[in-house]
Structure 1
Amino acid sequence: MRERILDKAQELFFRYGVKSVTMDDIARELGISKKTIYQHFEDKNAIVYAGVEHHFACDRTIAEQMQNEAPDPIAEMVMTSEMMRQTMAGMNPTAIFDIKKYYPQAWDLFSKYKKEFILEMVKKNLLKGIEMGLYRSTVNVDILSRLRLEQVEMGLDPYLFPLGQFNPLDTQLELLDHFLRGIVTIEGLNLYEKYITKQLSTPISTMAFFSQKNTY
């Protein structure tokens, strides 16, 4: 029952935003009483926290799998963009903003995840890319890895990119594209162009996308 409540709550949060969804909404969608929900979660804040925690646990598993299976660091970045596309496609753009503004404990999880896990993943990606000659040898890994993290959070800021004017997914993909083009070598750029061409023309799953490691 706890998992059912959490799954339904996350579905509603993604569809309508976090702030607008009430405990009554969750109970009604599940066909249960609010009392049943309170037997498993102290309040809505606890549901949001558990949902964010679960999301990052899944995200971490996928990110580690992509880093292990990607044939090169550029492929990993493109796979990341595809995962981002699939995740954000049906998401209400206010959901993340709601968490940041109204649920500080849950947002702290994001900050911790960003600083302790994503930062190291980006650093590994940059170092491997330099080693393989796909990223410029002059790239400052410490600076650029932090820049990439801030780009992600900046792209979610509705004050910088108003929701009525900018699509959050388009913003994130544009920032990632800009970041990659700024660090690749000529060889890396050619590989990147081939990958994104294939990505646009072949609508398949993220993992299947680079299943054949010697494509290029």
Structure 2
Amino acid sequence: MKEKILTKAVDMFLNLGFKSVTMDDIAHEIGISKKTIYTEYSNKTALVEDCVMHKFCTMSDGIDDIVALGKNPIEELYEIKKYVLSHLKDEKTSPQYQLMKYYPKIYGNLKKLHFDKMQGCVLSNVERGVTQEIYRSNLNVEFVARIYFSGVNSIKDQSVFPLERFPVAYLMDTYLEYHLRGIVTPKGREILNGIINSNQQ
């Protein structure tokens, strides 16, 4: 039962927002009593935290699987972007903003986990790209990893990038290209242009 509650709650929170969805709503959607949810979760905060950590672990494992394929670093970033997009809803409710506003402690923990995961992933990606001579050899690898993380978070700010003008898929595509064009060598640029051209066909 716990897994059923978790699956439905994750879907509803991402679609409708953490604030908007009540325990009654989740119980109604599953067709159980609210009391049944409270036998598994002491309160809504506990459920939100479990949902957030479950989603993070799922995404993290999926990214690890992509990295294990051993693609070249540019292709790897495009595969990760495609994977992340397929798992995140084209949100209208900005669940991340609601999480930050109404559950700041959970948001803080998630942000730290997200930072640690992305740092490791991007540091490794940049180092391999430099070794393969598709990224410039004079890069400050840690700076590149941190600025990439910072940018990925910044483009989620809907006060700067309103959804009606900047859809999520467009933002992620454009930001990834912006990031890569700043660090590739001529050899890397050929790979990047090839991926972009094949995606547009």
Query: Smaller-chain TM-score range?
Result: over 0.9
Superposition map of 1:175-186 within 5 A: 175-186=175-186
User: 2:102 is matched with which residue?
Assistant: 102
Distance in 1, matches of 2:168 and 2:44, equals 25
User: 1:171 is matched with which residue?
Assistant: 171
User: Per-residue deviation at 1:89?
Assistant: 4.5
Q: TM-score, normalised by structure 2?
A: 0.93
Distance in 2, matches of 1:8 and 1:197, equals 38
**Runs (5+) with no aligned partner, structure 2:** none
AA in 2 matched with 1:32: I
Distance in 2, matches of 1:137 and 1:80, equals 23
Superposition map of 1:1-216 within 5 A: 1-201=1-201
AA in 2 matched with 1:192: L
Contact 2:100 2:107 (C-alpha < 8 Å) held by counterparts: yes
The SS at the match of 2:59 is helix
Distance in 2, matches of 1:35 and 1:91, equals 29
Q: 1:127 to 1:93 in 2, by over 3 A?
A: farther
AA in 1 matched with 2:96: I
The SS at the match of 1:100 is helix
Contact 1:2 1:40 (C-alpha < 8 Å) held by counterparts: yes
The SS at the match of 2:68 is helix
Encode CA deviations 1:59-98: one digit per residue, 9 max, x unaligned: 1111111112042101111101211221234444511211
RMSD, aligned CA: 1.6
**Runs (5+) with no aligned partner, structure 1:** 202-216
User: Per-residue deviation at 1:164?
Assistant: 3.9
User: Per-residue deviation at 1:180?
Assistant: 0.7
The higher-RCO structure (CA 8 Å, 6+ apart) is 1
Q: TM-score, normalised by structure 1?
A: 0.87
AA in 2 matched with 1:105: K
Distance in 2, matches of 1:113 and 1:165, equals 30
The SS at the match of 1:183 is coil
AA in 2 matched with 1:165: R
Structure 1 stretches of 4+ moved >4 Å = none
AA in 2 matched with 1:26: I
Distance in 1, matches of 2:89 and 2:39, equals 33
Distance in 2, matches of 1:46 and 1:172, equals 31
Distance in 1, matches of 2:118 and 2:182, equals 20
Encode CA deviations 1:88-133: one digit per residue, 9 max, x unaligned: 3444451121112111222123222123221011000000000000
Q: How many residues align?
A: 201
